[in-house]
Amino acid sequence: MVIRTAQVNTGTVVSIRGSVIDIRFQDKLPEIHNQLTAGPIDIEVLIHITPEVVRGIALVPTQGLARGATVIDTGHPLMVPVGEQLLGRVLNIFGSTIDNKGEIKARQWRSIHQKSVPLSAHTTTSEIFNTGIKAIDVLAPLERGGKAGLFGGAGVGKTVLIMEMIHNVVGRYGGVSIFCGIGERVREGEELYRELKDAGVLDKAVMIFGQMNEQPGARFRVGHAALTMAEYFRDNARQDVLLLIDNIFRFVQAGAEVSGLLGQLPSRVGYQPTLATELAELEERICSTKNGAITSVQAVYVPADDFTDPAAVHTFGHLSAAIVLSRKMASEGLYPAIDPLQSQSSMLTPNIVGKRHYHLAQEIRKTLAEYEELKDIIAMLGLEELSSDNQKVVHRARRLERFLTQPFFTTEQFTGHKGKMVELEDALDGCERILKDEFMDYPEKSLYMIGTIQDVKK
């Protein structure tokens, strides 16, 4: 009896330019997205150049690879493990653990390239997702199963805000949280790991990283890998998932690097011509179905604080809530530095949040916008030159600004302020009472870095 073994599809390396490798196959071409291996080096097929040659991007450094080296087609795309065994672990793009606790014995592996859920399977009800952070819940409420973006330049507090959300939300909503670090610093990953451990929620979290020092190919695919894991918990385990991505701009940046390495002509501001498609492929997989919801909070670095940058503009289009962080507020010590006039949410309508919440939010915005207009006059002539009505607006606005600050659990060791989580009803009560001038006789600083309005002391 003759036992036939499956024919292994092999090719040879034709050229190597940095991370870009051209490989000639004699028998048949591998499919697009197939994973190829050349010893310890993993390559993903991106383009068919000729009927015999494919062009791929290396997901690891290519040192030691030479022309003429043998490459094996695995016959499948890049796969990652899925399942309950991932909880409490830290992984890389290949599904290997990087927390020194041994390998995961996963029963199931899935391709990172999954189709998005058809529109007919999406849920159509809108639910609010409370975070316990006053400025967000009052002025830009998040949607369960929606996508929220934290926009800001370097050093205004995006990562701190994401860590606080993990702390507040995981304990409250149960479910699973998946943290995806795209092109972030190793230090931030290590801090987050300790934060989750100290909060006692590590056993309900999965962390996956494509660090800043890794190849652009790996950084470009780590978001897809995280989504594949999130989809398992939503569709198979029927659990709600909180997916935190830090930072979606680095995904776009990695795509631009890959595009440049492949020799594609750059588009506006040097970005890849396929920017909109690549971002849509990732974002459209985040949604709610009848089985569960994937709620996503994404940090978005804004280059040079320029909100007209194509990366920021394209990301805006996918979000149900945009939380904009302001460098000016951060410099004044108003943390979280959420800009109340630029932040917005599609949830903030009377039908979803209720009439009282909607009208209060509009009133807060109106008061703060009037104060913004009066700032130039105050700078030139002083507060005393304003009419009594305008002076009242300024006093209200300054007290609102301070009331919307909040001490975070994740920054207790740096600020000395004990962290506070505030229910939406308490936050609305506080804002309503300030707008009714109940705290005119109190100094502004008595409203700074407090939780509920009951914490105010003369």
Positions marked active-site: 158, 184-185
Contact (Cβ atoms closer than 8 angstroms) between residue 255 and residue 278: yes
Angle (nearest 5°) at CA 62 between 59 and 63: 150
Backbone φ and ψ for 400, nearest 5 degrees, come out as -65, -45
Q: Could you give the maximum distance between any two Cα atoms of the chain, in Å? A: 102
Nearest 5°: the CA angle 437, 331, 421 is 55
d(CA 148, CA 364): 21
Among candidate residues 456, 431, 429, 420, the one with its CA nearest the CA of residue 340: 431
